[in-house]
Amino acid sequence: MPSRVSEPRRAALPDSPALADGAAEWWSAYVHVPFCARRCPYCDFAVVTPEEGAGPATRYVDAVVAEMAQTPTRSDRPGLRRPLDAVYVGGGTPSRLPATELHRLVDALRGSFGVADSAEITLEANPEDWTPSMAEALVGAGFTRVSFGAQSFEPTVLSYLGRAHTPEEAAAAVAVARHAGFESISLDLIYGSPPDTDWRDTVRRAIELQPDHVSTYALTVEGGTELFRSIAAGALAPDPDRQADAYELAGDELGAAGYVRYEVSNYAKPDHAVRYTMAVWAQAQYLAFGLGAHDHLLAGPPGAEPVGVRRRNVRRLEAYLEAVEAGRSPEAGRERIAGWQRELERLFLGIRRAAGVAAGVGGTALLASPQGRRLVEAGVLVAADDRLRVLRPLLTDAVSRAILDLPPSAASSRPELSVSPGDC
Amino acid sequence: MNDQTRIRNFSIIAHIDHGKSTLADRILEKTGAISEREMRDQVLDSMDLERERGITIKAQAVRIRHQHGGGHTYTLNLIDTPGHVDFSYEVSRSLASCEGALLVVDASQGVEAQTLANAYLAIEHGLEIIPVVNKIDLPAADPDRVSEELSTILGGSLEDVIRVSAKTGEGVVELLDAVVDRLPPPGGDPEAPLRALVFDSYYDSYRGVISYVRVVDGRLRQGEQVRFMATRLDDGADEVGVLTPAVVPVAQLGTGEVGYLITGVKEIDLIRVGDTVTLAGSSGGVEALAGYAEPKPMVFSGLFPTDGDDFERLREALDKLRLNDASLVYEAETSRALGFGFRCGFLGLLHMEIVRERLEREYDLDLVATSPSVEYRATTTSGEVLSVRSPQDLPHAAKVEKLEEPYVKVMIITPSEYIGTVMELVQAKRGEMGDMTYLTPERVELHYRVPLAEIVFDFFDQLKSRTRGYASLDYEPADYKASDLVRVDILLNGQPVDAFSAIVHKDRAHHFGRTMVKRLRDLIPRQLFDVPVQAAIGSRVIARETIKAKRKDVLAKCYGGDITRKRKLLERQKEGKRRMKMVGQVEVPQEAFVAALRIDDA
């Protein structure tokens, strides 16, 4: 085990291939906190609002802690009995939980798996929940990173998105977090919502707050959401060309301010790329706890080619609580990804990164395929130094589809993909 | 055996929706041919498709018994006829087996062009016509006005018109009495050698080819050796029978009778509609009955399977369909854009649509049909005359001395207030004015000569919309005339797409080109690069649009480590891509071919 793995190197450029590839060896955990004050019109995550019957937070945290305790390290692969390099508490809105409950979650991870002293521990937070005392308590609990759902600095857009905070509250939250001692502060921004009239202003105001990391997400209309229904009923839909403009504008502004784009929609100052998500794109192993959470662990006998097992938890709160409280696994289903499928997965995940992905057998097959050649001719895909990179990140999914379309290469082992039915 | 004087053979001529099928149902019911309980609506329309569209495709013959008011019982053979303009060929076959026809007109709609065309056809065949006004139960019925129209057209007296409601049954018995009283019994010599006319045939997978025949002279006995004169096929009459409408085998069919004949022949080509059946061995001295013209396809279109692997299935389906539809012609065709398929000839647009629907529905095929085309005639500089059924067949403009297109004689009946509108339309469609006759002060019959290509294109829809549905149309082939025609090619990313080429009149070329490129720009999804869509005559571009390159094709979120979901999403998108056809470097969805080639809203 190289030392940089257990002690991830700081001062790395967010888009460096060494950082991107090294993330494959990181070991992290995701904890899902489903509670939200209300459901945002565009959200289709596993979320529970008070109207939907969220019970006391304590019962949920108890269950998650129990789930952690029930979980063995579960991997036969070497090297994972070491402490976690990264923890990500996402939601939902984790900041809806009292700091003491969040503290309990981190402590439970420490108790069950160990958390490295240098680990990155992220909390997703909404600005309106954020207070100096909470911020200090969270730093005390070990959190090093906070990601605020700022989304926009235009009040009309915030209200369109169903967000409860004001632009001023977002700015104040950053200052409070900084003062409390968070090492890394991130802002999420959403572009391309129909009333989005001054996106440049939003980006600039975000930059003025000097976050270490910025994520820019295009407003996406997911089936089953309130947004989907209102658009189906005739409301204005996001325009993909305007979204492309907004994407490019954000890239220019953030680039000029010293942020490096290291994934399709993530920008960071040096040293501030998010470890947990870097690990996900690097096909690394991660644990996951809580409602609707997804993990990824390797299986297979030592020495054999590993098989990726991706499991998902149930998405209904009552089902989750009952399972864990009864000492049962809350698993809803899993898929096993091996051989050629695993190689293609490595590519379609890795290709999202600015650093690209090592070509390997799959990448070589892609470059030789008609679809791959078309992507190269169109200037979307480039191959250099045995790596594949996407030159036009907004067309990444076109590359991903071409990857998933590749027939098994003769050079690879037999493909295997089995999916077990889930209950959600 | 039936007394020849107690037989009446007749058919019903009516416009679509004027109630022919309902009237036929009611006649079957009133004569006890079918009980009320058995009564399905439109018994004679056996195919589901016919039932759905409310039209009749295959002629059928039903024998019924009617007790006349005078006391005698008569055998009536009701020969069903198709009602649509595309099928006048089949109408003419049915009429040849009758002595009379009921001309049925809707009491609220009045006479339509088609009705009139078929009435003229019946008169040409020497048939006695009984005018019938139907739907007298409707609140909007105006039987007096419609009766007047009918007597103007047929030259009879107002009293000759029989008023019925096929729906309620009112007047139907009187109508059947009139059939007996006013239609002549069949002629023919019972002592002469057998001559029977094949007026229809269809293929049954159990019994082979079933022919509908009308015995003109002599008798047709079960078990005898018969000869089909045109194909010189000798075969045994395995089964002879009538439809009541149940299938009832009989020992023989006498002179003037109508029924079916099964010989065990499996190849429909051996039994030609219009052929004469006689006794094997006696044919030397027998003169064949006046046959029919071969059906002449008027409209041509390429049919291609969406999935190239289905080509053989399409061939089999067409072969099978042809067993029941002698008017369908086809030959293999290759398109650079669409792969292997068939160039098919149809009697008209409706026929084309029906065939395509049957192929898709009954044979579970997914098809792309190219723009319908007519048969042009090109004379090359070397004096050779070519028939051009597809834009691809047209030689290079420099090699064409003369290009001619088919014209049709069009008859339109319209309320007189729309005369101006109709004239404008005909002029816009390059038509030439002919005669005009007032049927009544409010209704007028107009005659024109119009290029068939214009009729095929959207003439009918335009006529209907401009006259608020009141005008009706019928047409028949006329002749060929030299025209200023050009081939417009559509280029995608600089490459001509043969499936989209069309031969159009020079004056319409720009409009056609502009419409097509606009439509394709909207139908073809954005690609990774800008795709020019051009319309060109030879090397001259007449219209151009650009499909702008796709800029965004990515979903930003990774769903908190949910890679399974991301993969499923990508897999679903990939499925969509499977239905694309690659035209050069451009991915074109099947739907784009279908939609771009739609003619109704061009």
Residue A416: pLDDT band by 50, 70, 90 thresholds?
Answer: very low
Query: Does the pLDDT of residue A245 top 50, yes or no?
Result: yes
Q: How far is CA B297 from the centre of its chain?
A: 10
Residues sharing a CB contact under 8 Å with residue A189, sequence separation 6 or more, in sequence order:
A150, A151, A152, A202, A203, A206, A214, A215, A216, A217, A250
The reply to whether residue A396 touches residue B558, judged by beta carbons under 8 angstroms, is: no
The reply to whether residue B554 touches residue A397, judged by beta carbons under 8 angstroms, is: yes
3-state SS assignment for residue B106: strand
The reply to whether residue B552 touches residue A241, judged by beta carbons under 8 angstroms, is: yes
Predicted local confidence at residue A114, as pLDDT: 92
Burial of B30 (0-12, 13-18, 19+ CB in 10 A): middle
The reply to whether residue B560 touches residue A45, judged by beta carbons under 8 angstroms, is: yes
Predicted local confidence at residue A6, as pLDDT: 43
pLDDT digits (tens, 9 = 90+) for B11-57: 888 876 777 778 888 888 888 766 555 555 545 555 554 445 444 43
Neighbours of A12 (CB within 10 A): 18
CA terminus-to-terminus distance, chain B? 59
CA geometry: angle B490, B495, B501, nearest 5 deg = 25
Query: Does the pLDDT of residue A312 top 70, yes or no?
Result: yes
CA geometry: angle B81, B87, B93, nearest 5 deg = 55
Measured between CB atoms, which of B560, B570, B574 is closest to A30? B560
Interface of A with B in 207-226 (CB under 8 A): 216-218, 220
Closest CA to A246 of A212, A210, A197: A197
Residue appearing with tokens 């096909």: A283
Asked if A378 reaches chain B (Cβ–Cβ under 8 Å), the answer is yes
Query: What is the sign of the dihedral through the CA atoms of B257, B258, B264 and B269?
Result: positive
Predicted local confidence at residue A415, as pLDDT: 41
Q: Which two tokens stand for residue A53?
A: 């019957």
Element (H, E) at B210: strand B208-217
Please state, in angstroms and rounded to a whole number, the distance separating the CA atoms of residues A74 and A331.
14
Neighbours of B427 (CB within 10 A): 12
Predicted local confidence at residue B41, as pLDDT: 54
Residue A417: pLDDT band by 50, 70, 90 thresholds?
Answer: very low
Please state, in angstroms and rounded to a whole number, the distance separating the CA atoms of residues A211 and A195.
25
Asked if B293 reaches chain A (Cβ–Cβ under 8 Å), the answer is no
Predicted local confidence at residue B81, as pLDDT: 67
Query: Does the pLDDT of residue A133 top 80, yes or no?
Result: yes
Asked if B573 reaches chain A (Cβ–Cβ under 8 Å), the answer is yes
Residues of A in contact with B564 (CB under 8 A): 294, 310, 312, 335
pLDDT digits (tens, 9 = 90+) for A36-65: 988 899 988 878 887 776 667 899 999 999
Measured between CB atoms, which of A243, A277, A380 is closest to B552? A243
Helix spans in B37-139 (H): 48-53, 88-95, 113-124
Residues of B in contact with A375 (CB under 8 A): 528
The reply to whether residue B557 touches residue A374, judged by beta carbons under 8 angstroms, is: no
Bridge partners (DSSP) of residue B519 are: none
Bridge partners (DSSP) of residue A217 are: A190
Query: Does the pLDDT of residue A10 top 60, yes or no?
Result: no
The reply to whether residue A375 touches residue B528, judged by beta carbons under 8 angstroms, is: yes
Neighbours of A333 (CB within 10 A): 16
Residues of B in contact with A265 (CB under 8 A): 556
Averaged pLDDT score across all residues of chain A: 89
Measured between CB atoms, which of A244, A264, A380 is closest to B556? A264
**Distance from B365 to chain A by nearest Cα, in Å?**
26
pLDDT digits (tens, 9 = 90+) for A212-230: 999 999 999 988 899 999 9
Question: For chain B, which ranges sit under pLDDT 50?
Answer: 42, 49-51, 53-59, 85, 600-602
Q: Which two tokens stand for residue B200?
A: 């229809």
Residues of A in contact with B528 (CB under 8 A): 374-375, 378, 380, 395, 398
Asked if A261 reaches chain B (Cβ–Cβ under 8 Å), the answer is no
3-state SS assignment for residue B288: coil
Do A20 and A278 meet the contact criterion of CB atoms below 8 Å apart? yes
Interface of B with A in 533-552 (CB under 8 A): 550-552
Nearest CA in chain A to B573: A401
Asked if A31 reaches chain B (Cβ–Cβ under 8 Å), the answer is no
**Distance from B314 to chain A by nearest Cα, in Å?**
29
Please state, in angstroms and rounded to a whole number, the distance separating the CA atoms of residues B431 and B427.
5
Bridge partners (DSSP) of residue A266 are: A215, A263
Q: Which amino acid is at A392?
A: R
pLDDT digits (tens, 9 = 90+) for A329-351: 999 999 999 999 999 999 999 99
Closest CA to B135 of B168, B183, B159, B160: B168
The reply to whether residue A240 touches residue B552, judged by beta carbons under 8 angstroms, is: yes
Asked if A137 reaches chain B (Cβ–Cβ under 8 Å), the answer is no
What are residue A134's phi and psi, to 5 degrees? -65, -45
Please state, in angstroms and rounded to a whole number, the distance separating the CA atoms of residues A193 and B251.
81
**Distance from B535 to chain A by nearest Cα, in Å?**
25
Residues sharing a CB contact under 8 Å with residue B504, sequence separation 6 or more, in sequence order:
B453, B485, B486, B488, B512
Please state, in angstroms and rounded to a whole number, the distance separating the CA atoms of residues B391 and B502.
6
The reply to whether residue A378 touches residue B561, judged by beta carbons under 8 angstroms, is: no
Query: Does the pLDDT of residue A422 top 90, yes or no?
Result: no
Query: Does the pLDDT of residue A258 top 90, yes or no?
Result: yes
3-state secondary structure chain A: CCHHHHCCCCCCCCCCHHHHHHHHHCEEEEEEECECCCCCCCCCCCCECHHHCCCCHHHHHHHHHHHHHHCCCCCCCCCCCCCEEEEEEEECCHHHCCHHHHHHHHHHHHHHCCEEEEEEEEEEECHHHCCHHHHHHHHHHCCCEEEEEEECCCHHHHHHCCCCCCHHHHHHHHHHHHHHCCCEEEEEEEECCCCCCCHHHHHHHHHHCCCCEEEEEECCCCCCCHHHHHHHCCCCCCCHHHHHHHHHHHHHHHHHCCCEEEECCEEECCCCCCHHHHHHHCCCEEEEECCCCEEEEEECCCCCCCEEEEEEECCCHHHHHHHHHCCCCCEEEEEEEEHHHHHHHHHHHHCCECCCEECHHHHHHHHHCHHHHHHHHCCCEEEECCEEEECCHHHHHHHHHHHHCCCCCCCCCCCEEEECCCCC
Interface test mutation site (partner B, options A28, A191, A298, A395, max chain B beta carbons within 10 A):
A395
pLDDT digits (tens, 9 = 90+) for A68-126: 998 876 554 555 678 999 999 998 899 999 999 999 999 999 998 999 999 999 999 99
The reply to whether residue A294 touches residue B557, judged by beta carbons under 8 angstroms, is: no
Please state, in angstroms and rounded to a whole number, the distance separating the CA atoms of residues B219 and B237.
12
Please state, in angstroms and rounded to a whole number, the distance separating the CA atoms of residues B556 and A266.
9
Which one-letter DSSP state was computed for residue B280?
T
Asked if A265 reaches chain B (Cβ–Cβ under 8 Å), the answer is yes
Please state, in angstroms and rounded to a whole number, the distance separating the CA atoms of residues B149 and B158.
9
pTM above 0.90, yes or no: no
Query: Does the pLDDT of residue A421 top 70, yes or no?
Result: no
Interface test mutation site (partner B, options A342, A394, A406, A417, max chain B beta carbons within 10 A):
A394
Predicted local confidence at residue B578, as pLDDT: 64
Q: Which two tokens stand for residue B258?
A: 């109508």
Do A137 and A99 meet the contact criterion of CB atoms below 8 Å apart? yes
Residues sharing a CB contact under 8 Å with residue B511, sequence separation 6 or more, in sequence order:
none
Helix spans in B265-401 (H): 311-324, 349-362
3-state SS assignment for residue B452: helix
Predicted local confidence at residue A288, as pLDDT: 95
Predicted local confidence at residue B353, as pLDDT: 82
